[in-house]
Amino acid sequence: MAMEKVILIGGKAGQGTAVTSYFIGKVFCELGYYVFNYRDYPSLIRGGHNFNVLRISDKPVYSHKDKYDIIVALDQKTIDLHQKNLNKNGFILGDDDLKSKKLVSVDVDLTLKKLKAPRIIENDIFIGWLFKYFGIDKKLLLREAEKKFKTKKINLIKKAIEKGYTLGKIKEKLKRIGKSKYFISGNQAVGVGALSSGIDIYIAYPMTPATAVLHFLAKKQLDNNILVLQLENEIGVANAALGASFGGAKTMVGTSGGGFALMTEALSLSGISELPLVVYLAQRTAPATGVPTYTGQGDLKFVVNAGHGEFPRIVVAPGDPKEAIMRTKEAFYLSTKYHLLSIIISDKHLGESDYAFDKLERSSVSNERFILKKPSKDYKSYKITKDGVSPRAVPGQGPVVRATSYEHNEYGNTIEDAYWTVKMTDKRFKKLKYLKDEIKKLNPTILYGKGKNLIIGWGSTKGAIIDALPQLKDFRFLQISYISPFPKEIVKREIEKSKKVILVENNVTGLLGDIIAEQTGYIIKNKVLKYDARPFVSEFIVNKIKRKP
Amino acid sequence: MRIQDFNTKEENTWCPGCSNFGLLQTAKNALVELVNEKKIKTKNIAIASGIGCHAKIFDYINVNGFYGLHGRVLPLCLGMKVSNPELTVIGFGGDGDTYAEGVSHFIHNCRYNADFTMLVHNNQVFALTTGQATPTSEKGFVGASTPLGVKEPPLNPITLALVSGATFVARGYALDFQHLKGLIKKAILHKGFAFIDILQPCITFHNLAPYFKKHIYKLDKNHNSGDLQKALLKAKEWNYSLEDKAKIPIGIFYKTKRTTFENQWSQFKKPWHTLKRKISWEKIIKEFK
């Protein structure tokens, strides 16, 4: 019998639901369980209602559920909002002043008084209580607490956990079931990918849900000898990044839709100046400010087309953190080698959810800088070559190096004549052929499961779709990771092989469907779409697909 | 090093008689002298330009350079400088470029104090777009987009730079070559963000040369360029309007020392591309287990 627990932890912002949930997840990862941790929070700092959903299983899981076995309620609102989704045998853990028929209460006030502890320590009492309930060894729990909570309050936290442990009753006997797992979010994975690619400079302006990458890399900058800058706005960020790239630094920027919109003039500049640039876009619910701390996949066609004019680009959409590490390194590699814009597109759901993996891997692509060791005196920045890639020199090496927003000749000087305009445009587009060959080697799509029928999706929907597959008869899932250049031969072939084709996207119109139509000529009419700012859960997908003709 | 060494083969497309010719020659002269005085290295010079008449200078100086977008000279310069602190970075911007489209970058780069130079060709008009008002056009300026005359007072970039924390603030005149050359050399040698607003009359759309001839005077030793309050008073002497009694000071308004942007960090301080990284994968992923 498979073990699976779904725990919701809810409370006001500032009550520590995220930290508590992450910690519980981390302990289960240590014991070898697979965990998915979903964060749901509004755009405010104190108050409101935050909750996390932890799904813990002895089998791999890549998404959360909306039915819960246990609710840890830090306030009454958590009960009022979520009690209806409690499973039949489920219960609510909380303070004894909360009201619910399902409440298993702890006298928090008295316990805190005895501990001489502030209210925030309440979470640790519940943690102790829960792990006792699961029958998990107290020593291991306390050891994990020491690892995780590196604060002055650690002794108090440990005491509170122990106290909670004594108050609880053993119900189950969960044991270590295997090697401990890696527990990582999509944003952390993009940071890991950047570090593993040999990033030199990361520049950003804070914007949810991409900010975590800025924080992650900023914290690690001294240890890893990289530079992390927050500048005045996204226009400054993107242009400074191109200046840095011109100077020879491996540079990345990160933002969400609104900031990305401001960067678009610079994306166009990277196109004509042929300077490598990696952009991380974590989508949130748009248009405009939209639903800022929630998820969506509404920016796909924007990203594919962002920037005025025509120029080749790389757009890659990882579906989980493990893949995000790989794809980020690929994005750096392709951008650096072909002097192109690489965009990594993710979203709030992938960026801020924690996933568990047996192991993490980095792509085997090269970290080379692709900069000439000793450029010759007659160096030309935009030399016409067979593959369209001009050997790269950087300022300071000796010869004159130029980059420009104007159409130009091989030296990078401005031209306006028809001959060079065509010549340089062709040069830039020549790269596409080589780029397509490269991408073929990088698994631009991934196929899951077996069946006559096909689900197509991209990005963060991957988790819920994979988790839905076992409940769907005769369905396989094609995840499309490279959106540009688009792997049209594979997609076309898979569509042609299938009886039913269903598109699953977290947006209103099915943007990938449009791209598929444009690239393959196939119009997918069967769509499962969701645009309520919330991510998919597998049950939703199963129910929708079962009802499809 | 001779001035010809900085020439390119590009055809110069400024209007015949444009004051940018003088500015170009002066900038090249300043660079030649600094190279010959061994204060800078030719291979490390990197320029950036925006978009507008000023920006054509990119094609006429044969040094490393980035011909950027309208208004974005300063972020480009900042990026170039942080990617390689050994570079001598010089930005060329226009008044529309720097004070309209890119004014936020201007304010913040005054504050950041990275070690590079910003030369603004201020002709008080959008010239390449055929004569519209910029933020430094005088009140009453009549252009194609303002046939009724500009209603607002102009922006004073000298004051703005001073209050934004710039560590070198000067005004030059494109037609006073010797004086301008001295300013440019000092600006390039200044450790920190050096800004010169260069009055550069547009002979086609806004020829203020006769006005400037009458009203410009040079700041001399009586002006204490180490005193911010005095600098602000001097800056306010002329508000970019064309009043009859105006006195227009040129020279260094203010100069001070402050730690540069790039000196604030303890990371690698050489060109990043020369860094050979040893990446420890195990170390990077350790914290997630």
Alpha helices in A274-299 (DSSP H): none
Q: CB neighbours of A147 closer than 8 A, spacing ≥ 6? A: none
Chains A, B: CB pairs < 8 Å: 190
Average model confidence (pLDDT) for chain A? 97
Q: CB neighbours of A417 closer than 8 A, spacing ≥ 6? A: none
* A430 C-beta neighbours (distance < 10 Å), count: 17
Whether residue A436 sits in one domain with residue A305: no
CB contact under 8 A, A269 and B68: yes
Which CATH number is A475's domain given?
3.40.50.920
Tokens of A534: 């919330």
H-run or E-run covering B32 = helix B19-36
Whether residue A252 sits in one domain with residue A126: no
Segments in chain B below pLDDT 50: none
For residues B173 and B56, give the distance between their C-alpha atoms in angstroms, rounded to a whole number: 19
pLDDT of residue A284 exceeding 80, the answer is yes
pTM of the full structure: 0.97
Whether residue A198 sits in one domain with residue A107: no
Does some domain include residue A366?
no
φ/ψ of B188, rounded to 5, equals -65, -35
Which residues 214-233 of A have a C-beta within 8 angstroms of B? 221-222, 225-227, 229, 231-233
pLDDT of residue A498 exceeding 90, the answer is yes
In order of start, what are the domains of chain B with their CATH numbers? Answer: 3-288 (3.40.50.970)
Does some domain include residue A118?
yes
Residue A240 belongs to what domain range? 183-357
Question: Given A184, A225, A249, which is nearest B83 (Cβ)?
Answer: A249
pLDDT for the residue A44 = 87
For residues A308 and A272, give the distance between their C-alpha atoms in angstroms, rounded to a whole number: 11
Whether residue A126 sits in one domain with residue A69: yes
CA B32 to chain centre: 18
pLDDT of residue A1 exceeding 70, the answer is no
Q: Which residue of B has its CA nearest to A401?
A: B64
Q: What share of chain A is helix, strand, coil (3-state, %, to 5)?
A: 40, 20, 40
Which residues 331-350 of A have a C-beta within 8 angstroms of B? none
pLDDT tens digit sequence for A153-171: 999 999 999 999 999 999 9
Q: Single out the residue of B63, B66, B39 nearest to residue B55, CA to CA.
A: B66
For residues B92 and B47, give the distance between their C-alpha atoms in angstroms, rounded to a whole number: 7
Question: Given B69, B79, B281, which is nearest A244 (Cβ)?
Answer: B79
pLDDT tens digit sequence for A300-335: 999 999 999 999 999 999 999 999 999 999 999 999
- Whether the Cβ atoms of residue A29 and residue A183 lie closer than 8 Å to each other: yes
> Which residues of chain A make contact with B50, given a CB cutoff of 8 A?
none
Q: Single out the residue of B264, B119, B111 nearest to residue B199, CA to CA.
A: B119
For residues A55 and A39, give the distance between their C-alpha atoms in angstroms, rounded to a whole number: 12
The residues that bridge with A280 in the sheet, in sequence order, are: A254, A344
Whether residue A449 sits in one domain with residue A438: no
| Angle in degrees, 0-180, between the axes of helices A257-273 and A234-246, rounded to the nearest 10 | 30
Which CATH number is A34's domain given?
3.40.920.10
Tokens of B121: 């060709």
Residue A422: strand, helix, or coil: helix
> Which residues of chain A make contact with B285, given a CB cutoff of 8 A?
182, 192, 360
What is the complex's ipTM, to 2 decimals? 0.98
Residue type, B258: R
Does some domain include residue A177?
no
Establish if A196 touches chain B: CB-CB under 8 angstroms: yes
Find the distance separating the first CA and the last CA of chain B, reported in whole Å: 59
Whether residue A192 sits in one domain with residue A125: no
Whether residue A290 sits in one domain with residue A191: yes
Q: Which of A442, A464, A494 is the last residue of a domain?
A: A442
pLDDT for the residue A268 = 98
Residue B157: strand, helix, or coil: helix
Does some domain include residue A174?
no
pLDDT for the residue A413 = 96
Domain count, chain A: 4
Question: Given B46, B51, B105, which is nearest A232 (Cβ)?
Answer: B105
pLDDT tens digit sequence for A58-110: 999 999 999 999 999 999 999 999 999 999 999 999 999 999 999 999 999 99
pLDDT tens digit sequence for B83-114: 999 999 999 999 999 999 999 999 999 999 99
Mean pLDDT of A393-406: 98
Question: Given B78, B272, B289, which is nearest A248 (Cβ)?
Answer: B272
pLDDT for the residue A2 = 82
pLDDT class of A508 with cuts at 50, 70, 90: very high
Q: Single out the residue of A318, A356, A459, A325 nearest to residue A60, CA to CA.
A: A356
pLDDT class of A526 with cuts at 50, 70, 90: very high
φ/ψ of A201, rounded to 5, equals -135, 130
Whether residue A351 sits in one domain with residue A204: yes
For residues A221 and A243, give the distance between their C-alpha atoms in angstroms, rounded to a whole number: 20
pLDDT of residue A46 exceeding 90, the answer is no
Tokens of B145: 């987009």
CB contact under 8 A, A405 and B69: yes
pLDDT of residue A47 exceeding 90, the answer is no
